[in-house]
């Protein structure tokens, strides 16, 4: 079994759970049903502050809901890579690059408001690790 793929699968699964919580929390905050999140540590590190800003929403959906599409796809690709689809690393690599660009946009906006969502930053680190693992595995697969 490929340990890099197993790591991508596990990390993407964890990120999917994280994105589920963030999406739920974002809708709670927008509907004024919640006024805080457990990850609100300070004014600088506050998921609530991030979700109260317009940049965190695209066409009335939070960016974390987009993550609910991306991370399960990564889970499925990692599983298919482990079982059937030997070329899935290229797709994981491409999706990870796209998601890194999107996350870069979100983090840039967080810099603009001076507040960061810790759970979002965890997802960013997960996608960076996934990208590195997929890149290494793609290079090994070519050789």
Write down all domains in the chain, each with its CATH number in brackets: 3-142 (1.20.1440.130)
**Model confidence, pTM:** 0.80
* Residue 110 CB partners (closer than 8 Å, separation 6+): 50, 116, 117, 120
Least confident of 2-11, 14-23, 125-134: 2-11
- State mean pLDDT over 113-131: 86
Q: How confident is the model at residue 17 (pLDDT cuts 50, 70, 90)?
A: very high
- State mean pLDDT over 18-39: 81
Least confident of 53-57, 63-67, 122-126: 53-57
3-state DSSP call for residue 3?
helix
In eight-state DSSP terms, residue 1 is: -
| Strand 61-62 versus strand 57-58 pairing type | antiparallel
Q: Is the pLDDT of residue 43 over 60?
A: yes
3-state DSSP call for residue 61?
strand
Question: Could you tell me which residue, 54 or 20, shows the higher pLDDT?
Answer: 20
């Amino acid at each position: 079994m490929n340990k890099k793929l197993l790591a991508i699968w596990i990390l993407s699964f964890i990120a999917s759970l994280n994105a589920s919580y963030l999406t739920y929390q974002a809708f709670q905050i927008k509907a004024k049903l919640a006024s805080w999140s457990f990850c609100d540590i300070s004014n600088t590190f506050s998921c609530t502050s991030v979700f109260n800003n317009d940049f965190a929403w695209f066409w009335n959906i939070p960016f974390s809901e987009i993550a609910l599409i991306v991370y399960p796809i990564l889970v499925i690709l990692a599983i298919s890579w482990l079982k059937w689809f030997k070329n899935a690393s290229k797709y994981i690599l491409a999706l990870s690059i796209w998601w890194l660009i999107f996350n870069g946009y979100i983090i840039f906006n967080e810099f603009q408001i001076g507040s960061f969502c810790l759970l979002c930053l965890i997802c960013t680190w997960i996608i960076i690790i996934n990208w590195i693992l997929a890149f290494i595995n793609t290079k090994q697969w070519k050789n």
